[in-house]
């Protein structure tokens, strides 16, 4: 008789990854452009790059835009099927994926009309929303670390973490945009 495998150290973790494991291609189609979006985003806001190499800024901007559109669209597809936090997480993801797509579309429309300031504002919003995933993770970590006190499960707090992370970033973007106007 073969020895049985050791018990999973974090069985909840395996359950949380199940949706991503079942939808590997969709996950990769979401994550690869997400990486491009995160890497290219900061360069789009570098004044020196925009001024000294406008052609490079435009090409990087196109890749950034397409990457963001793929990320937003795949988030809309993934969310109802892979949300660890159930309906609360799905709602947050759907709202902010839609806002990401709207922001990118508005940024594109503004630049086509040569409305540079308006384009920049919409790009700041888009990047802030996309970057919010990096804030959701530490918030989830805080919830995991405090489970002994709160008795919340991952299903309970993942949606809350998504709402907090995305909202903080969007509010931060709006404050930045307004502060820069002064």
* Residue-range domain boundaries for the chain: 25-181
- Distance CA(64)–CA(124), nearest Å, equals 12
**Token pair of 136 as six digits:** 């959701």
pLDDT at 32: 94
Q: Which residues in the chain land under pLDDT 70? A: 1-23, 181-182
pLDDT at 126: 96
pLDDT at 5: 52
pLDDT at 96: 96
**Token pair of 115 as six digits:** 């409305």
pTM comes to 0.84
pLDDT at 84: 85
pLDDT at 134: 87
pLDDT at 125: 96
Residue closest to 74 by CA, chosen among 94, 103, 102? 94
């Amino acid at each position: 008789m073969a020895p049985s495998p050791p018990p999973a150290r974090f069985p909840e973790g395996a359950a949380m990854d199940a949706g991503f494991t079942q939808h590997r291609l969709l996950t990769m189609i979401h994550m690869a452009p997400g990486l491009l979006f995160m890497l290219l985003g900061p360069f789009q806001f570098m004044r020196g790059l925009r001024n000294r190499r406008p052609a490079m800024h435009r090409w990087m901007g196109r890749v950034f835009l397409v990457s963001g559109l793929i990320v937003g669209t795949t988030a809309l597809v993934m969310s109802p099927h892979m949300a660890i936090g159930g309906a609360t997480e799905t709602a947050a993801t759907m709202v902010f994926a839609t806002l990401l797509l709207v922001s990118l579309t508005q940024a594109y429309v503004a630049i086509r009309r040569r409305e540079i300031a308006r384009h920049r504002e919409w790009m700041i919003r888009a990047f802030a929303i996309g970057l919010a995933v990096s804030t959701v993770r530490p918030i989830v970590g805080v919830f995991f670390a405090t489970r002994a006190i709160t008795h919340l499960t991952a299903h309970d707090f993942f949606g809350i973490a998504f709402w907090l992370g995305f909202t903080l970033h969007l509010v931060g973007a709006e404050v930045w945009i307004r502060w820069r106007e002064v």
